[in-house]
Amino acid sequence: MSTTGIQQGMTGEEVTDLIGPPLDSLRMDLMFGGASVSGFVSGGPGGDGLADGGPAGGSRTGVGPADVGRTGGGESAGRPARTGRGRGLFGRLFGRREAASAPHPVVVRSGPPASFSSSFNWFYPGFPEGQDTIVTVTRGIVTEIVSRPCGGAPPPTERANPWAADLMARHIARVERDLPDLASHANWSVLTSDEVHEQVLRVHTSGPEGGQVACKVRRFGDLDVLVSSFDTIDPAVIRDHLPGGYIAQLDRLLKEYGIRVGSTDIAHWILCRDPGTGTPGVHLAYVTRVKGVPVVMPWDLLTPEEQKGGRLRST
């Protein structure tokens, strides 16, 4: 057993429940094209400790369809967001069944290899203390854990996205004005705290990977905050990187990072900036695990079917 507390054979969701989601998740097929693997080996030793935010713990109360706060286009320079309410968008997102809690056995293959398209490297910087850990998850199962002394640059202390600060504040104020039930929710105060605000502004995000939206993730108690970025403020261009629709892609990101729907609140900041003009824009999604609390969606990024609450397009 690894002293990180992570073992081969655990599910990705069990790892996330134990130490939180990784800061970053990298698909193996994006690293090595269509290559594949034929076997797995155990990782090196680690140390005691917990990732930032501590263990997920968290209630598994489940979440059902809820009111939706429409945040059309988020906030952009000179353009306010639209807000309103609707129902019925989230049957697919909330209808996922939790995987069985029992870990699956690890199969070391010597025959036909598994595709890298179902493999991810999860990066945990500074976990355990003084070390960085990479957890390889293949088809939802941990197959390798490697911990090494910390290397590389320290966490950023300066804002990577200072241009987003004012728009984020305006966006939050608008949601609080139009959706007071959400504004009074406990984890909303976590999302709007100085700590989370600064982390969102400091995180170095990359653009879409493999034609799909990518993100970085941090856990704050029982709130998971995803941050994505785009070098455009044009919703149509952004939607090109959301095959199947925004909700389908959010669902994919949650699966990729091992986040159980209904175990934590989920916030997704999408930071956008036109590289030519410097014009900024932000979008926000907020999905609470508590029934009856309004849900916020980035309205301009939804497909017409999603906006109508109809069936999602297949990916």
Reported as a single tens digit per residue, the pLDDT across 138-193 is 878 888 787 777 765 555 567 889 999 999 999 999 999 999 999 999 999 999 99
Which of 105, 102, 81, 294 minimizes the C-alpha distance to 187? Answer: 294
Distance in angstroms between the alpha carbons of the first and the last residue of the chain: 38
CA dihedral 149, 39, 216, 195 (to 10 degrees): -40
User: What is the pLDDT averaged over residues 35-58?
Assistant: 28
DSSP 154-193: PPP-S-S-GGGHHHHHHHHHHHHHH-HHHHTSHHHHHHTS
CA dist list (Å): 104 to 11, 101, 122: 7, 9, 19
pLDDT at 74: 64
Query: Predicted confidence band at 112 (pLDDT cuts at 50, 70, 90)?
Result: very low
Q: Average pLDDT for residues 101-122, to the nearest whole number?
A: 44
Tokens of 62: 């489940």
CA 243 and chain centroid, separation = 17
Q: Quote the pTM value.
A: 0.62
Report how far residue 106's alpha carbon sits from residue 144's, in angstroms, rounded to the nearest whole number: 10
Q: What is the pLDDT of residues 264-311, one digit of tens each?
A: 999 999 999 999 999 999 999 999 998 888 899 999 999 998 988 733
Give the chain's mean pLDDT. 71
pLDDT at 257 over 70: yes
Q: What is the reported pLDDT for 77? A: 57
Name the DSSP letter for residue 78.
T
Nearest residue to 170 via CA among 260, 41, 257, 76 = 76
Residue 109 pLDDT > 60, yes or no? no
Q: d(Cα 300, Cα 234) in Å, to the nearest integer?
A: 9
d(CA 215, CA 270): 9
What are the tokens at 234?
Answer: 């044009």
Kindly give the interhelix angle for 165-178 and 194-202, rounded to the nearest 10 degrees: 140
31-45, 114-128, 215-229: least confidently modelled range: 31-45
Q: Which position has the higher pLDDT, 134 or 191?
A: 191
In the chain, % of residues over pLDDT 70:
64
Residue showing tokens 């959301």: 242
Average pLDDT in the 118-141 region? 77
pLDDT for the residue 170 = 95
Q: Residues 201-236: pLDDT tens digits?
A: 988 887 787 788 988 999 999 999 999 999 999 999
> What integer pLDDT is reported at residue 166 of this predicted model?
94
Rounded CA-CA distance 176/85 in Å is 14
**3-state secondary structure labels for all residues of 264-276:** EEEEEEEEEECCC
Cα–Cα distances (Å) from 236 to 60, 126, 240, 244, 279, in that order, read 36, 38, 7, 14, 16
